[in-house]
Structure 1
């Protein structure tokens, strides 16, 4: 499937006007409340997700914490350009089997040359995910993080990030060559149905259907175990450690991260619950 880039980027495509009710958890003790919201970074105009309990969490929160702060997100393009090039070009014909190559070329033709021969495998995969997002007519300006950033900035509330852009992209850059090639091949093989798959993925997000989201993640990432560890499990463990530390100080926080990080036994809520914190699904 070509969903891994979208799971990591949190892209999705519910119909405009969809009444989305994404999953949200509350981690709390006597004086600290951390709402944990699963996000989609890109959505169509008119997606209604910030009502009801999410609206109440936004109003109650003293601060917003996302994967990347607005400053780090703005730096991501520059850092990608620095990390993405290969030392020596390698044609896509030498990287992909014929069927996968044909699907890759079809996706490329839908919006212009990726310049993939000059890029690392992981970088080509990221560009493929962005192209699927464009073809599904999604916009990052309509995504959950963009809307939350505007709301918290407008209310003069602080906004922070769990990672830097360099940290995120280096996760891909440092994957071993075999893992990168497996991810690229798998993504290319699924490009023909990628837009349809993204829509199904986001319908699950909009329903708050964590079982369906977990199924998608398992199908896509378990085929490449090294990727699961580096891109999902290890990061979730670090974010869980951040929550533990933040629980030592009073206040209310909205933590908004890609929905793929919040489901299954190695998702952040499950990790926190297993470590003894009080975790409740509130939407």
Structure 2
């Protein structure tokens, strides 16, 4: 689940200059890209990685062309780049009084691993105790940025936003920061604790997991990404609907409405939303869209 947070969820970016040519001796990048069309209107649909190492080359000629042909960028959430405001919202929603100790919120056999992870990120029982379980999970997950050398500024959304804004093209979000955090804040406590436990369980393997997922993304291997996310949510099924399927359904409704307007949107959301039978594309097909993979 930690790889899921870092690879797929944009909120990890605030808690913590990619080129267009691959490095010598490496395969040219080809992350998956689709066109979606309905009633004569067309858009691009692209699966992203929210945080990347600074030296990763990910942009293919097809993506460059699609971006140039688009006049609107649609992201998962607008406003995440305002780190001060986002952090304030996180603090407001993520803290509650009189919570049990953080160690009491994971199974007994995982408490030693939790202590080791907290020590690695410089946290203590006292610093994490005021945070609800979902918020503590995000904070612990974000600590992996140092190990993986990830930077929000190198993430796909940040670079796309800069390019669109420099051209005077608008950038909008399918969700707000409050909405994204609110999804976590309304999770039942058992689901929150499941999230926290999985972050602890996967802490030691986070680097290898992330690198494998990144490699799959760069080569457009959506089957590998889909298998990984299916396995991840299989361990915590209570998280699948609120964090993935329900959001996909909501986004498909918004995209359907958006496509009734003139113009060509470039829609960029986490790659985990674009795989499997409950993907955004699957929801759009049910609404009469034609979906074709370009790359």
State the TM-score, normalizing by the size of structure 2.
Answer: 0.89
1:99, 1:189 within 8 Å by CA — same for their partners in 2? no
2:61 aligned with 1:52, yes or no?
yes
Write out per-residue CA displacement over residues 31-67 of structure 1, whole angstroms, 9 at most, x where no aligned residue. 4221111011111112222231100011000110101
2:73, 2:172 within 8 Å by CA — same for their partners in 1? yes
Partner of 1:265: 277
Name the CA distance, whole Å, in 1 between partners of 2:38 and 2:2.
40
Change (3 A) 1:2 1:101: farther
3-state secondary structure, aligned to 1:70: coil
Structure-to-structure mapping, 1:212-223, within 5 angstroms: 212-223=224-235
2:233 aligned with 1:224, yes or no?
no
Shift of 1:86: 2.3
Change (3 A) 1:221 1:73: farther
Structure 1: unaligned runs, 5 residues or longer: none
Write out per-residue CA displacement over residues 61-98 of structure 1, whole angstroms, 9 at most, x where no aligned residue. 01101011236754321100111112213222212234
Structure-to-structure mapping, 1:14-163, within 5 angstroms: 17=23, 19-29=28-38, 31-70=40-79, 73-74=82-83, 75-113=85-123, 115-163=127-175
Name the CA distance, whole Å, in 2 between partners of 1:269 and 1:133.
30
| Match among 205, 210, 222 for residue 222 of structure 2 | 210
Structure 2: unaligned runs, 5 residues or longer: none
Shift of 1:224: 2.0
- Cα RMSD (Å): 2.1
The alignment of Structure 1 onto Structure 2 pairs a total of residues equal to 281
Name the CA distance, whole Å, in 1 between partners of 2:227 and 2:256.
28
